[in-house]
């Protein structure tokens, strides 16, 4: 592609993305000859699904850490990885390359692993999916986990030995439910499970903990400690092999949209009782309209917040080691590149507020 081949509409959209995202100091001609900018223009013109663009990224964007958009419609700048192994955690399913998150979330997972091991009798966390290196839609699995503020943690305790790479791909998490029921299995469930979940919910940064309704009921019926955070533990489909941590947008982070707070109260009353009726589990009624449905349209890069276009094409660090928990790596790399950024006429850490995303459906009951 050459400069002349960039259509006017793409050029305008590209310029808007840069202005919104990195705070250009002037509105003159953009340097389209720069390789990163050309890659962004190509991505904007292509019909490639966003999940393919973000799913192909092996390393994060060297930009200031920002969660951009909403949990199910956004991306991640300046993500860092949790190490594959720590004193009180092991990361699972390494081939997926989904152990990346906003630094606040990675620090919280590390803290939970350490405190649960020291105080709750939980030997360590088996960490599941967090996010892709640059967030965004995934090639398979989750609708959320797009902005680096969601993390899955197995309900299986970490073993006392280090799992091999093969074991991390083939070992299955264990359901805590009695087979073919909505209730936890007392042969599997332990008080340490309850302590782990209530500790995770107690952190002020945490917005929600998603668990199976049977787990929520067990906590409602048996937890005798401080119940102030019980309302953060939300029943939802699945989540009996793992629990899902969702944290709030970091304070003052423009362009990141948190979920509405959970309803007041413990969530142990009518909201929970609904899950133990037939309604949540009844098969969906077939639509009366027999006309063939249009083919589902994949989310494109242009459907995401404007800043995600720059995240998708931003430079990557030299190696994963530079962007793993422990050394404030993004700040160091960004500082090293600051002079080059200034010479190009923009500052990579200056993100303007993003436009609001469209309306999103709420699950029933409200979670």
Closest CA to 99 of 145, 53, 66: 145
pTM: 0.80
Predicted confidence pLDDT, tens digits, the chain (367 residues) = 443 333 444 444 455 555 444 443 232 333 333 455 555 546 554 678 999 999 999 999 999 999 999 999 999 999 999 999 999 999 999 999 999 999 999 999 999 999 999 999 999 999 999 999 999 998 887 788 999 999 999 999 999 999 999 999 999 999 999 999 999 999 999 999 999 999 999 999 999 999 999 999 999 999 999 999 999 999 999 999 999 999 999 998 989 999 999 999 999 999 999 999 999 999 887 767 667 777 777 889 999 999 999 999 999 999 999 999 875 544 544 554 554 444 333 333 333 333 333 333 333 444 4
Q: What is the pLDDT of residue 239?
A: 94
In a domain, 207, yes or no: yes
Which domain CATH number covers 138? 3.30.1380.10
Q: What is the DSSP letter of 130?
A: -
Residue 1's SS3 state is coil
Q: What is the DSSP letter of 279?
A: G
Closest CA to 173 of 116, 117, 123, 240: 240
d(CA 55, CA 36) in angstroms, rounded, equals 18
CB atoms within 10 A of CB 205: 17
In a domain, 366, yes or no: no
Q: What is the pLDDT of residue 284?
A: 80
d(CA 312, CA 61) in angstroms, rounded, equals 7
In a domain, 290, yes or no: no
d(CA 277, CA 213) in angstroms, rounded, equals 11
In a domain, 15, yes or no: yes
DSSP letters for 257-272: -PPPPPPSS-S-SHHH
In a domain, 351, yes or no: no
Q: What is the pLDDT of residue 3?
A: 39
Closest CA to 53 of 297, 304, 333, 249: 304
d(CA 82, CA 73) in angstroms, rounded, equals 23
Number of domains the chain contains: 1
Tokens 């969702």 map to which residue?
246
d(CA 135, CA 152) in angstroms, rounded, equals 15
Dihedral angle at the C-alpha atoms of 229, 233, 234, 235, nearest 10 degrees? Answer: -140
In a domain, 361, yes or no: no
| Residues spanned by the domain of 19 | 3-279+300-344
In a domain, 257, yes or no: yes
Q: What is the pLDDT of residue 293?
A: 73
In a domain, 355, yes or no: no
């Amino acid at each position: 592609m050459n400069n002349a081949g960039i259509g006017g509409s793409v050029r305008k959209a590209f310029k808007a993305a840069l202005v919104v995202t990195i705070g250009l100091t002037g509105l003159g001609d953009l340097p389209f000859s720069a390789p990163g900018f050309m890659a962004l223009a190509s991505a904007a013109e292509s019909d490639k699904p966003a999940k393919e663009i973000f799913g192909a990224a092996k390393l994060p964007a060297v930009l200031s850490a920002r969660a951009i958009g909403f949990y199910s419609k956004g991306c991640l700048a300046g993500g860092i990885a949790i190490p594959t192994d720590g004193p009180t955690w092991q990361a699972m399913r390494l081939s997926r390359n989904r152990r990346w998150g906003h630094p606040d979330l990675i620090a919280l997972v590390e803290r939970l692993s350490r405190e649960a091991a020291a105080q709750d009798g939980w030997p360590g966390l088996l960490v599941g999916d967090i996010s892709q290196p640059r967030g965004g839609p995934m090639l398979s699995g989750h609708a959320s986990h797009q902005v680096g503020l969601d993390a899955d943690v197995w309900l299986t305790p970490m073993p006392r030995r280090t799992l091999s790479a093969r074991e991390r791909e083939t070992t299955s998490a264990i359901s805590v439910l009695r087979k073919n029921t909505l209730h936890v299995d007392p042969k599997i469930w332990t008080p340490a499970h309850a302590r782990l979940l209530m500790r995770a919910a107690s952190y002020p940064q945490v917005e929600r903990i998603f668990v199976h309704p049977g787990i929520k009921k067990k906590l409602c019926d048996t937890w005798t400690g401080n119940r102030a955070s019980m309302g953060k533990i939300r029943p939802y489909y699945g989540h009996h092999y793992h629990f899902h941590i969702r944290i709030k947008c970091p304070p003052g982070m423009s362009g990141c949209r948190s979920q509405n707070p959970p309803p007041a109260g413990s969530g142990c009353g009518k909201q929970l009782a609904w899950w133990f009726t037939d309604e949540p589990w009844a098969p969906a009624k077939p639509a009366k309209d027999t006309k063939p449905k249009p083919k589902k349209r994949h989310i494109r890069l242009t459907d995401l917040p404007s800043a995600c276009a720059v995240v998708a094409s931003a430079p990557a660090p030299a190696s994963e080691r530079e962007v793993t928990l422990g050394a404030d790596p993004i700040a160091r790399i960004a500082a090293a590149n600051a002079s080059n950024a200034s010479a190009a006429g923009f500052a990579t850490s200056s993100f303007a507020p993003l436009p609001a995303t469209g309306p999103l459906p709420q699950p029933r009951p409200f979670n």
